Chains A and B, each alone.
Chain A
Amino acid sequence: MSIQFKSITELRAMLDDKSISSSELIQESLQLAKKYKELNCFVTMNEKISVKKASSIDLNEKTNSTLSGIPLAQKDLFCTEGLRTTCSSKILSNFIPPYTATAVEKLEDAGSITIGKTNMDEFAMGSSNETSFFGNVHNPWKKGYVPGGSSGGSAAAVSAGIVPAATGTDTGGSIRQPAAHCGITGLKPTYGRVSRWGMIAFASSLDQAGPLARTAEDCAILLNAMSGHDSKDTTSLNSNVPDFLENINQPIDGLKIGIIKEFDISDLDTDVQACFEDSKKNYESLGAQFVEVSLPNISASVPTYYSIAPAECSSNLSRFDGVRFGHRAENTNDLNDLYIKSRSEGFGDEVKRRILIGTYALSAGYYDAYYKKAQQVRRLIKNDFDDVFKSVDLLMTPTSPNTAFKFGSKGTQNPVELYLEDLFTISSNLAGLPAISIPHGQVNSLPVGLQLIGNFLREDQLLNASHIFQKNSDFHLAKPNLEDF
């Protein structure tokens, strides 16, 4: 029986009833990665070590972890000891980390097997996976179309059924938007829920790691393993981690869902609107109640983000100087020349653009007008969320204003055009809130995502509402046909 498109829960059952061994499962997953090489999901494979780990799991009969022997893919932004980690950038194209990120370590400690590192927008800067040094990732639903970004390789690998789940990171929508474009489920946890240690930083006050999977149930399995306090990350929350599977099946009678007045969905494609209206009806039939809420400052999220994220990025990426790791330019005259040439050769255009914006926003004379101002507006946005969560449990929006688009069709003339892709996702990063994207329809044979935003640390409510939706619909079961790959 093929393992392609199987969920973690299904694969666990196959492993437990011995219809497949862990070695067979890993071999098949690696074979699928090779078969669909043209999707360009992976930057580096981890074949030898994964085969070895699988055979050692087969030899050890005592397995009590859900993730034991399950193949996973890791976004190539998580440091993995001994396994090349590039952030899809030329500047890190030869980097072999001396340690493993906590989130990956926890998943591997739970028995999962990393089969490879996935392609992404360079340093997670992008919404289409078109900024990778290693080339574009194709959307499994349509060749030549973007998978979304920045976790595009992870989303495509799960969507194509190569692995049942993968890790991603989300700074402004980088888990949810590719999940939406590839027809899978993606969860951005509360800021601080999952350790950032060993994640190559883009914007430290916004970055958060999370799972991409075929179902909300599988996201809960991954989140259970990834979450928890880590003394190596000073922003890691020291709070209780519930079992996210335990209450996933609760009825949602009386669940109050807010619709954000300021997001005018009548501006969207009519088919995308229709999916949204249908999902409202679905939720109503399951017992949820809808109320209109106002977040007066939410429309300022995009400009706020594009001041804060580049500022943090310009500071974080100053560590790439060609001296201690990564690409170093040859034939340089002096130390300053070495810095300039190594960075200029190593970074792509979008990364350079964001470093320059951040440097400008943080420079003397502009700091108050751009950076501080954005952080003040950020508080207003967070205050708006605090207010609405006094009266609703969740908020519901589309994940993205549109479906996946053709390579090169957005943002080439004007970068802001691509930045607006994140219109619905950015605000939860600014406020540190958890949010999930689940598939809820198709337009022109391309998936459409529905976003639910939860209150601080309420991933349990998001997963519960998503699971109940998936139990009562089959959008998450749709598969791309992949015949063009």
Chain B
Amino acid sequence: MDQETVRTICYLARLEIDEEKSEKIQNDLETIIELIGSLQNIDTSDTEPLFSPLEMTAFKHEDIENSDNRKDKFLENAAASNEDYFLVPRVVE
């Protein structure tokens, strides 16, 4: 894994790594990828992936209308909001 790949992954994950930590992170990622890479030696040619230990169809809710409006409560946790919306830096000029 080279520095360019690390930069690309960082961007995809919306993370910034301090310059002085970048080499350490690169080494750590290489070590972990090497660990995960050891799975390549296992024959899985006829094996379906197991994404969840339950393998059941997700339980569905009854579609019941709920008039409980907790907008104010949810907006309270935002760093910036007005009475209706979360506020973010301007997106459209």
- A-side residues, CB < 8 A to B, are 94-96, 98, 191-192, 205, 231, 233-238, 297, 300, 302-304, 306-307, 314, 318, 321-328, 332-341, 343-344, 347, 349, 352-353, 355-357, 359-361, 363, 369-370, 372-380, 382, 414-416, 419, 430-433
On chain B, the residues within 8 Å of A321 by CB distance are: 14
Besides A303-B38, A377-B39, 15 other CB < 8 A contacts?
A: A95-B77, A98-B77, A234-B59, A237-B54, A238-B59, A303-B39, A304-B39, A323-B88, A326-B77, A327-B79, A347-B15, A359-B9, A372-B49, A378-B49, A382-B53
**Is the CB of B82 closer than 8 A to any CB of chain A?**
no
- B-side residues, CB < 8 A to A, are 1, 5-6, 9-10, 12-17, 21, 25, 28-29, 31-33, 35-40, 42, 44, 47-54, 58-61, 70, 73-74, 76-80, 86, 88-91
On chain B, the residues within 8 Å of A235 by CB distance are: 52, 54, 58-59
- Least Cβ–Cβ distance between B74 and chain A, in angstroms: 6
Output the residue of A236, A323, A433 with the most chain B CB within 10 A: A323
Q: Tell me whether chain A's interface is mostly helix, strand or loop, or mixed.
A: helix
| 11 A–B contacts from the bound complex (CB under 8 Å) | A306-B35, A322-B79, A332-B89, A334-B90, A338-B89, A340-B14, A356-B25, A360-B33, A375-B50, A414-B28, A415-B31
- Least Cβ–Cβ distance between B93 and chain A, in angstroms: 11
On chain B, the residues within 8 Å of A323 by CB distance are: 78, 86, 88
- Is the beta-carbon distance between A324 and B32 smaller than 8 angstroms? no
On chain A, the residues within 8 Å of B47 by CB distance are: 376-377, 379-380
- Is the beta-carbon distance between B10 and A191 smaller than 8 angstroms? no
- Is the beta-carbon distance between B53 and A191 smaller than 8 angstroms? yes
Report Cα–Cα, A378/B52, bound state, in Å: 9
- Least Cβ–Cβ distance between B35 and chain A, in angstroms: 5
Q: A191-B54, A324-B74, A335-B91 are in contact. Are A375 and B49 (CB under 8 A)?
A: yes
- Is the beta-carbon distance between A357 and B39 smaller than 8 angstroms? no
- Least Cβ–Cβ distance between B72 and chain A, in angstroms: 10
Closest to A333 in B: B89
- Is the beta-carbon distance between A415 and B14 smaller than 8 angstroms? no
- Is the beta-carbon distance between A415 and B70 smaller than 8 angstroms? no
Closest to B6 in A: A356
On chain A, the residues within 8 Å of B52 by CB distance are: 191, 205, 235, 432
Q: A324-B78, A338-B89, A379-B50 are in contact. Are A303 and B36 (CB under 8 A)?
A: yes
- Is the beta-carbon distance between B15 and A377 smaller than 8 angstroms? no
- Is the beta-carbon distance between A369 and B15 smaller than 8 angstroms? no
Which residue of the partner chain, among B9, B37, B50, contacts A363 with CB atoms under 8 Å? B9
Closest to A344 in B: B16
Closest to A208 in B: B53
- Is the beta-carbon distance between B50 and A314 smaller than 8 angstroms? no
On chain B, the residues within 8 Å of A373 by CB distance are: 39-40, 44
Can you list the 5 inter-chain pairs with the closest CB atoms, starting with the nearest?
Answer: A432-B53, A375-B49, A328-B79, A376-B44, A379-B50
On chain B, the residues within 8 Å of A334 by CB distance are: 89-91
Which residue of the partner chain, among B21, B60, B77, contacts A325 with CB atoms under 8 Å? B77
Which residue of the partner chain, among B21, B35, B58, B77, contacts A303 with CB atoms under 8 Å? B35
Closest to A415 in B: B28
Which residue of the partner chain, among B13, B48, B50, B53, contacts A359 with CB atoms under 8 Å? B13
On chain A, the residues within 8 Å of B91 by CB distance are: 334-335
- Is the beta-carbon distance between A343 and B42 smaller than 8 angstroms? no
Report Cα–Cα, A338/B90, bound state, in Å: 11
